[in-house]
């Protein structure tokens, strides 16, 4: 018996006008699956339609990424493209400013409709936007300051990667799992690991890894990266090819890959690494479906992106279509003042 899997991120490439309708229908259907109440599925469809329509009219290599926020907290719609950027972004966001002459018509409507709307643009590079429709009265905004995308290999229904972020006593812990290979059996391993993570997410990282190792014994196994975000630093514990990096506005400060081994089959005694995270630094955790070269010389624009947009930029620009790909980006929570 297999419990319901966490759905991967829906990907809608905007390469034709018909994709605008597909984007709206996808957002509506995911909103309904998340049981968003009342007019929320219609609002999700409007947001997706406006963002997709912008990409269709003006952008190069645009796509929407649509997914539920975890714990039934709502829905997220990300838009990413590779140009031309929006020099008139402020006017595009202003009420009443609509023109078909520039990218950005309808963004005012998007920012009014979404609970949270974040957008960054760079001339000649591209635009990234994140619209979240949250359910009212969410007590734990675990995804604030965090972003996540999990995409199956092209042609696969199921995703052999998975990831999650949880919070215990104000400290967040994230996981990225890459089930060996791809397809249904990789997905089974990844989802098994995710359930074990949710049961053990408050323990020390080596103990979480042990729980995952035991849970994955009868699966094909997985690579796993665990990250715990403290104020000022993160702890990382990993087996196999799940990488972690620290991105500050100045550059990529740290990069680590997991110890050799396969979780579920054979793992060494776990080592926990400490990674400094100065203010404004984002920790990025990703599976090997993301080309590691993205971090060789990221642009200043990329390094300054808030975590949800950084995750989208990495996935949109650097994922392999032949492998499942997951990227999770997060900053430590701000201490209450």
Q: In angstroms, give the least distance from the CB of 326 to Mn ion.
A: 9
Q: In angstroms, give the least distance from the CB of 187 to Mn ion.
A: 12
Binding string, residues 175-204; x marks residues near Mn ion by CB under 5 A: ---x--------------------------
Q: Which is nearer to Mn ion, 147 or 179 (CB)?
A: 179
Total site size for Mn ion, rule CB under 5 A? 4
How far is 254 from 248, CA to CA, in rounded Å? 10
How far is 100 from 52, CA to CA, in rounded Å? 14
How far is 333 from 270, CA to CA, in rounded Å? 26
Q: Which is nearer to Mn ion, 158 or 323 (CB)?
A: 323
Q: Does 156 bind Mn ion (CB under 5 A)?
A: no
Q: Which is nearer to Mn ion, 76 or 178 (CB)?
A: 178
Binding piece for Mn ion, criterion CB under 5 A, among 4-12, 37-45, 207-215, 317-325: 317-325
Binding string, residues 279-298; x marks residues near Mn ion by CB under 5 A: ---------xx---------
Strand order in the sheet with 74-80: 10-14, 62-69, 74-80, 126-134, 116-122
Q: Which is nearer to Mn ion, 136 or 155 (CB)?
A: 155
3-state helix vs strand vs coil in the chain, percent to 5? 30, 30, 40
Binding string, residues 29-68; x marks residues near Mn ion by CB under 5 A: ----------------------------------------
Q: In angstroms, give the least distance from the CB of 275 to Mn ion.
A: 22
Binding piece for Mn ion, criterion CB under 5 A, among 128-136, 174-182, 244-252, 273-281: 174-182
**What's 290's DSSP letter?**
B
How far is 91 from 235, CA to CA, in rounded Å? 42
Q: Which is nearer to Mn ion, 9 or 102 (CB)?
A: 9
User: Which residue from 256, 254, 226, 230 is spatially nearest to 243, judged by alpha carbons?
Assistant: 256
Q: Which is nearer to Mn ion, 81 or 324 (CB)?
A: 324
Q: Which is nearer to Mn ion, 150 or 208 (CB)?
A: 150
Instruction: Give 178's strand partners.
Output: 161, 223
How far is 332 from 227, CA to CA, in rounded Å? 11
Q: Are 193 and 200 in contact (CB under 8 A)?
A: no
Q: In angstroms, give the least distance from the CB of 158 to Mn ion.
A: 13
Instruction: Give 245's strand partners.
Output: 255, 284
Q: In angstroms, give the least distance from the CB of 160 to Mn ion.
A: 7
Joined tokens for residue 165 = 């972020």
Q: In angstroms, give the least distance from the CB of 324 to Mn ion.
A: 6
How far is 268 from 210, CA to CA, in rounded Å? 10
Q: In angstroms, give the least distance from the CB of 325 to Mn ion.
A: 8
How far is 117 from 169, CA to CA, in rounded Å? 27
Q: Which is nearer to Mn ion, 36 or 262 (CB)?
A: 262
How far is 1 from 196, CA to CA, in rounded Å? 16
Q: In angstroms, give the least distance from the CB of 206 to Mn ion.
A: 23
Q: In angstroms, give the least distance from the CB of 80 to Mn ion.
A: 21
Q: Are 62 and 80 in contact (CB under 8 A)?
A: yes
Q: Which of 50, 81, 156, 323 binds Mn ion (CB under 5 A)?
A: 323
Which chain residues interact with Mn ion by CB under 5 A? 178, 288-289, 323
């Amino acid at each position: 018996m297999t419990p319901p899997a966490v759905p991967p991120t829906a990907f809608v490439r905007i390469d034709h006008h018909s994709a605008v309708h597909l984007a709206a229908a996808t957002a509506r259907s995911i909103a309904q699956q998340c049981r968003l109440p009342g007019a929320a599925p219609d609002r999700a469809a409007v947001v997706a339609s406006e963002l997709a329509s912008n990409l269709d009219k003006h952008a190069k290599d645009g796509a929407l990424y649509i997914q539920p926020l975890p714990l039934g907290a709502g829905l997220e719609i990300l838009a990413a493209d590779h140009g031309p950027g929006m020099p008139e972004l402020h006017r595009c966001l202003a009420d009443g400013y609509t023109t078909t002459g520039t990218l950005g018509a309808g963004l005012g409507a998007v920012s009014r409709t979404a609970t949270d709307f974040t957008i960054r643009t760079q001339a000649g590079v591209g635009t990234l936007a994140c619209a979240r429709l949250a359910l009212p009265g969410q007590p734990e905004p675990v995804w604030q300051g965090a972003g996540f995308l999990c995409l199956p290999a092209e042609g696969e229904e199921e995703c052999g990667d998975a990831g999650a972020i949880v919070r215990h006593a104000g400290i967040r812990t994230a996981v990225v799992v890459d089930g060996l290979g791809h397809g249904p059996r990789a997905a089974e391993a990844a989802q098994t690991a995710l359930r074990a993570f949710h049961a053990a997410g408050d323990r020390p990282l080596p103990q979480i890894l042990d729980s995952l190792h035991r849970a994955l014994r009868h699966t094909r196994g997985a690579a796993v990266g665990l990250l715990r975000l403290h104020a000022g630093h993160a702890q990382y514990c990993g087996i196999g090819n799940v990488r972690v990096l620290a991105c500050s506005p100045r550059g990529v400060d740290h990069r680590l890959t997991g110890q050799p081994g396969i979780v579920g089959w054979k793992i060494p005694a776990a080592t926990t690494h400490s990674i400094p995270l100065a203010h404004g630094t984002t920790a990025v955790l990703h599976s090997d479906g993301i080309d590691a070269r993205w971090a060789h010389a990221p642009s200043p624009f990329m390094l300054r992106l808030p975590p949800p947009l950084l995750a989208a930029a990495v996935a949109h620009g650097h994922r392999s279509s032949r492998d499942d790909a997951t990227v999770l980006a997060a900053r430590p929570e701000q201490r209450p003042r």
